[in-house]
Amino acid sequence: MLKKEQNDLLTQTDSGTPMGELFRRYWLPVLIAHELPIPDCPPVRVEVLGECMLAFRDTSGKLGLIDEFCAHRGVSLWFGRNEHDGIRCPYHGWKYNTKGQCVEVPSEMGTGFCERIKLKSYPLIECGGVIWVYMGAPERQPPAPEYEFATLPTEHSYMSKRVQACNWLQALEGGIDSSHVSFLHSGSLNRDPLFKGAKGNQYNESDKAPVFEVTDAPGGLFVGVRRNAEDDQYYWRITPWVMPCYTLVPPRGDHPVHGHFWVPMNDHTCMAWSLDYHPTRTLTAGEREAMEGGAGVHVLVDDNFHPLQHKDNDYMMNRELQRSGVLYSGIEGIGMQDASLQESMGAISDRTRENLVSTDNGIIMTRQRLMKAAKALAANPDFALPGLAAEHQHVRSAAVLLRRDLAYKEAAKDALQAEAGKPHQTV
Ligand code: FES
Ligand SMILES: [Fe+2]
């Protein structure tokens, strides 16, 4: 349970809030690379940390993220014409470059007026099949992200994203709560093409009272969860959380590893990023097809990344499949099983009213780390934030069988360390 001030601190990310300033120190994923495929392609709206922005790729191929609204009289530049190294407002023809600098005001040519007009802008970079934004002070811009998937050729990975109608934190909290898998996703583990067939699934299904052991990691936490296995062993699933909003699902068999970013769009909406990657091989055509079809952690969405299953159609809930147990909650798809329940908690979950138990330890510790870091940063802008250094990002999830007397953090140390060419440890 949290006090109201603590809930506010954790969930508010507009400019000037402590958590908003923390988020502004990291590269955040905003676009899948193919959203801006070629020079002068259509611009794309980006809402992130409560700011409405417009992304475009100019004639020379440069990426820009600028204020969505024209400095003249506030028209959305999404309607603009992307032409000759700039985006031109279709209302009266004011034109801006990728840095937000106004380069032409047709009614005031030759007066120097346009030089005084500049829209807010942030740098974008492309790596790992993702376009990332940095929204903090320019002198504190960190090096490019080095999460393992971003260091691999893009043939090893697949990205999707979906708008989720709730605050970022309750979406993140689902990502580190391994205990719900034995319930909510139980029907899907052996049906979904990106989950089925793994030996680990049987431990998830046979032991519904997992024990959590959460340990510190340089960039955040390792959320270790053990279930009973045969021969005096435990089946461990270890989920890394890297500050502020990156989580990795432990693998199953030789399936690709799933991961997520939970990026605030505003305080009531987040962009749930789902990614799959395999550290040592390219994805197969069959895997890609399954991901595109909404299997695994992916979801079918419309052109604006809104899921086809949503609150207004009751997420296409099927009571018959719920009753028979084919789908534990009656909702199809692992991603929508999570989203439907998390959205039902309200736009911002009221954490003053919850009753937490031992399986919520990962959530409790994540909140503590976030609050501590946001306060430390507010008191000292030089505070070394966890998750910024490359080595903090070089982590992996793992699923391992270990003797019961072994501590996972030591015994699975190598499995949790990302390294080029090293197979991941999975059951
Ligand atoms: S509102 Fe954009 S040019 Fe007038
Ligand atoms: Fe889930």
The enclosing domain of 127 has a CATH number of 2.102.10.10
- What is the 178 CA–ligand 2 centroid distance (Å)? 8
Q: Is residue 3 part of a domain?
A: no
Q: Which two tokens stand for residue 323?
A: 């009753």
Q: Which residue, 216, 287, 232, is CA-closest to 255?
A: 287
Number of compact structural domains in the chain? 2
Q: Is residue 138 part of a domain?
A: no
What is the C-alpha separation between 393 and 301, in angstroms, rounded?
29
CA angle, residues 376, 382, 385, in degrees to nearest 5: 60
Q: Looking at residue 160, what is its pLDDT? A: 98
Closest atom of ligand 1 relative to the 92 alpha carbon: 3
116 and 177 together in one domain: no
36 and 159 together in one domain: no
279 and 225 together in one domain: yes
Mean pLDDT of 148-175: 97
pLDDT in tens, 105-124: 999 999 999 999 999 999 99
What is the C-alpha separation between 70 and 94, in angstroms, rounded?
8
Contact by Cβ (8 Å): 277, 255: no
- What is the 99 CA–ligand 1 centroid distance (Å)? 18
Q: What residues contact residue 284 under an 8 Å CB cut-off, 6+ apart?
A: none
- What is the 58 CA–ligand 1 centroid distance (Å)? 19
- What is the 368 CA–ligand 2 centroid distance (Å)? 22
214 and 129 together in one domain: no
Q: Which residue, 229, 218, 235, is CA-closest to 178?
A: 235
Q: Is residue 80 part of a domain?
A: yes
Neighbour tally for 248: CB within 10 Å: 27
Q: Is residue 295 part of a domain?
A: yes
Mean pLDDT of 299-304: 97
Q: Which two tokens stand for residue 130?
A: 């993702």
Mutating to test ligand 1, I would choose from 72, 107, 113 the residue with most ligand atoms within 8 A of its C-beta, which is 72
Contact by Cβ (8 Å): 53, 68: yes
Q: Looking at residue 246, what is its pLDDT? A: 98
pTM (2 decimals)? 0.97
Q: Looking at residue 117, what is its pLDDT? A: 98
Q: Looking at residue 16, what is its pLDDT? A: 98
Q: Is residue 103 part of a domain?
A: yes
Q: 9-18, 201-210, 281-290, 397-406: lowest mean pLDDT where?
A: 201-210
Nearest CA to ligand 1 atom 1: 73
Q: Looking at residue 207, what is its pLDDT? A: 87
268 and 172 together in one domain: yes
Identify the domain boundary among 133, 166, 188. 133
179 and 85 together in one domain: no
pLDDT tier for residue 206 given thresholds of 50, 70 and 90: confident
First vs last C-alpha separation in the chain: 35
201 and 76 together in one domain: no
pLDDT in tens, 330-339: 999 999 999 9
89 and 166 together in one domain: no
Q: Looking at residue 191, what is its pLDDT? A: 85
Mean pLDDT of 238-258: 97
pLDDT in tens, 4-55: 999 999 999 999 999 999 999 999 999 999 999 999 999 999 999 999 999 9
> 288: domain range?
154-411
pLDDT, the chain, mean: 96
For residue 405, pLDDT over 90 is answered with yes
> Taking CB atoms and a 6 Å cutoff, what residues make up the pocket around ligand 1?
70, 72-73, 75, 89, 91-94
126 and 162 together in one domain: no
pLDDT in tens, 43-59: 999 999 999 999 999 99
Q: Is residue 17 part of a domain?
A: no
